[in-house]
A and B are shown apart, each in its own frame.
Chain A
Amino acid sequence: MSITLNALLKSPWVFHLSSGSCNNCDIEVLDCLTPRFDVERFGIKLAGSIRHADVLLVTGSCNRKSSARIRKIYEDHVPRPCVVVAIGECSLSRGLFIDSYNCPLPLDRIIPVNVYIPGCPPKPEAIIAGVVKLIQRLKASV
């Protein structure tokens, strides 16, 4: 196992990227950090800058304005290795907004996605379960 991946599995730092969501998923992500759910006990920490992040948590139905920025962030700014977690129905399949004129593509057509967490919004428990599954899968792959 490479040293970077080993460090990532011990303590994945997440950056939360809202690509045009309704705030609900974003708040549930923040909720995960607060005392009741407290994901910091697993070493998961919200990073202040995209350049410190190992995991990108993307919420929302990517609209025309934000999808170009998301692609740029993923391609140019994020350190490798990076895993992408799509949170909420909007980023999975655009959900309700599939017919909207401003949401042309789902997230996985813009950047590669590793984990999908469905729900509108997913409960904090579901988000934690998703991240745990991600870590297990990464462990199995190395």
Chain B
Amino acid sequence: MAKTIIPIGPFHPLQEEPEYFSLTVEGETVVDVDVELGYNHRGIEKLSESKTYDQVPFVVERICGICSTSHPYAYVKAVEDISGCTIPERAEYIRTIIAEGERIHSHLLWLGLAGHFLGYNTVYMWVWKLREEILDVMEILSGNRNNYAMFKPGGVRRDIREEDIPFVIKKIDSIVKTLDMLKKAILDDPVLHARLKGIGILKREDAIDYSALGPTSRASGVAKDVRKDAPYGAYDKVEWKMIVTEKGDVFDKVVVRVLEVFESISIMKSCLLSLPKGPIDANLADIVPGEGIGVHEAPRGETFHYVRSDGSNRPTRHKVRAPTFMNLPTCKSTVIGAAIADAAIILASIDPCYCCTERLAVCRIDGKRMMNGGELIRLSVEKTEKLKKEMGRR
């Protein structure tokens, strides 16, 4: 049968970010998938080399608006790894509270968008209405709905006021009630079962081979979570359990995310109730030469930051690896063989975040290298030099 290529994107209403998918189909079946990125590349790693250690959290916060806690968290952990300092306990708790609040809003956001992709706009509207409540909580705690600016190397920038805590706890309790209703409505819906069960299966072996991270791997039965494997913050001081399911289809990914929201709420609540007193900033001295890594379990999986210092006030190298970078290739094993109608939800089921993943590539078209102005000048200078040599001139 003849193959057809269906282009999706780069600017399309399906997802909010620009990215280009080409689906090769035979009849109704997808036989190949390819993704082209680069519409979001802003050169963050290079940019952060021009900022001081205290300014970089604001840069990495804007890698991705949904993970605006994960990147600063991993970055400050990398810087603290270089300097080897211990940060105050209260700061650890506040960091955990903010990180879990972000996980709740990110999972709810994904759940709403998944409903939208399936044509269940009711789910989209209900869940996003609920998401506003957690954004209110974050606004009270940090002063902003999305970019929290709470993190700094050595501690946090803003304390949680004692008088806010009862209101916040009341608010997140009210979320649990609505979410319980939603959970029953979503997970017991026969249409959603028919639509999501058994499609886009990521097998356990594939999840390991592709090094899938976060809910994508946990839905396939790979119990991998930085918060449990290498506890940091207050994650080893409060009770919570890792959600792992076995089948690896899209439905399981929904289940993992919905149940994780409940866990996050319970972590957030117990952190707020047992918030220790004390300072919130270790007042980090100058950063010594060296290198450090920081990992944080973002809503989509493990975020990895590497920072190298030469003793000055700016990082000399800052490397970011976002979870979608590892999760996106799993589409090769999940989408191929599926029907076109299922492709949208399978591609979305890893909760992709392309602005985290953006890389820059110098590409060749038809085997010819594309050149910029500087390279043309270099070639011109080289030719002159060569001619000079040939003609015996200096």
Residues of A within 8 A of B (CB): 15-31, 34-36, 46-50, 60-61, 63, 65-66, 69, 73, 96-97, 99-103, 120-121, 123
Contacts and interface: CB of A to CB of B under 8 A. Distances in A.
Contact of A120 (B42, B125, B132, B147): B147
Contact of B11 (A18, A29, A30, A63): A18
Given A20-B18, A73-B11, A102-B43, A96 B125 contact: no
Contacts of B18: 18-20, 66, 69
A73 B43 CA distance: 24
Interface string B111-133: 01000000000001100110010
A101 B42 CA distance: 8
B300 to A, nearest CB: 12
A73 to B, nearest CB: 7
Given A24-B68, A24-B146, A36-B132, 9 more contacts: A18-B17, A19-B39, A22-B355, A34-B132, A63-B40, A66-B39, A99-B47, A100-B42, A101-B43
Contact of A23 (B44, B65, B129): B65
Q: Kindly state the interface size class of chain B when it binds its partner.
A: 35 or more
Nearest to B124: A34
B255 interface: no
B186 to A, nearest CB: 17
A61 B355 CA distance: 12
B64 interface: yes
Interface string B125-146: 1001100100000000000011
Contacts of B40: 18, 20-21, 60, 63, 66
Given A16-B16, A27-B16, A36-B129, A100 B65 contact: no
Contacts of A35: 125, 128-129
B201 interface: no
Contact of A99 (B50, B128, B145): B50
A23 B355 contact: yes
B66 A97 contact: no
A63 B42 contact: yes
Interface string B1-36: 000000000110100111000000000000000000
Contacts of A61: 42
* Most chain B CB within a 10 A radius of its CB, from A36, A49, A102, A103: A102
Interface in B45-88: 46-47, 50, 58-59, 62-66, 68
B278 to A, nearest CB: 32
Contacts of B146: 24, 27-28, 121
Given A21-B355, A35-B128, A121-B147, A102 B42 contact: yes
Given A18-B18, A24-B147, A101-B46, A65 B41 contact: yes
Interface in B295-353: 353
